[in-house]
Amino acid sequence: MVPPVWTGAKTVIIVPAMATKSRFYAPLAEWLSEQGIATLTFDYRGYGVSGDGQLRQVTADVVRWAQDAANVLDWVSAQAKTPVTWIGHSLGGQVLPFSAFSDLEQAITIAAGSGYWRTNPGALKFIAPVLWKALAPIAIKFTGYYPGSALRVLGDLPPNMMRQWSRWCMHPDYLLGELPELRTRFAAVHIPLVSLSFTDDELLSGTSITALHSAYPETNRQMLRFTPAELAVQRIGHFGFFRADRKQLWEQVLTPLLS
């Protein structure tokens, strides 16, 4: 975690997706800083610069990573001199209820939804059960971690992370199936919440996006869903919004939300 310079009118935390290192968000973080917004992103424990690359030794699961994000918010809230916005990508948008969300001015989720396999888009709906029930367990048994990069299915992940995520993705209520007590945390989120999603997301369908956000109070959430054409680009997908060459998207979509 690299501390930002606490200047500017606002503060942003970028909370990463699953199997995505903080350096992926550096272009957006740098752009936000250029707009006068103090910006911080981080790696979950045992991952990226927070680890030594030995994922088989990492005992963290998804809940532990969610607590890491909560701890980062606690630290930022104690340091920041300006209102804080949570920008959560995918997993980063799912774990908001684990945090002290009342300390936030607002939250923006980007490509965040339920991972339940039956709501997956296209062919992924048929591939997912094989991944969760066969490929992932076998790979972990032989390597000690999930070698997603070598398999070209997701990225590398610690073993307990993949095991817990698998259980979530096989349950209709996703994380709430294993953690039903979180329903009260979701219901208690009364800060402004904006969901940004894209119709060409290869990992999450519109149904997936709605399933996650329906757990939040309806009165304070705003659902924004874009086609690539609406934003004058050919493709966005699950990760494309954060690419270094997408400054026009950030100006078009994020600037109004952060103004």
Q: What is the pLDDT of residue 5?
A: 59
Residue 99 placed within a domain: yes
The tally of CA atoms less than 13 A away on the side-chain side of residue 10 is 21
Residue 175 placed within a domain: no
What is the H or E stretch that residue 226 is in?
A: strand 221-226
Residue 61 placed within a domain: yes
Residue 120 placed within a domain: no
In terms of residue numbers, what domain contains 106? 10-114+183-258
Residue 86 placed within a domain: yes
Going by C-alpha positions, the residue among 199, 115, 109, 196 that lies closest to residue 154 is 115
Helix 62-79 to helix 159-169 angle, to the nearest 10 degrees? 100
Residue type, 116: Y
Residue 53 placed within a domain: yes
pLDDT digits (tens, 9 = 90+) for 15-63: 999 999 999 999 999 999 999 999 999 999 989 888 777 899 999 999 9
Structure tokens at 5: 């310079």
How many domains are there within the chain?
A: 1
pLDDT digits (tens, 9 = 90+) for 198-255: 999 999 999 999 999 999 988 789 999 999 999 999 999 999 999 999 999 999 999 9
The tally of CA atoms less than 13 A away on the side-chain side of residue 17 is 23
Residue 95 placed within a domain: yes
Is residue 1 over pLDDT 70? no
- Contact predicate 86/13, CB 8 Å: yes
- Contact predicate 192/107, CB 8 Å: yes
What is the H or E stretch that residue 15 is in?
A: strand 10-15
Residue 96 placed within a domain: yes
Is residue 128 over pLDDT 60? yes
CATH of the domain at 207: 3.40.50.1820
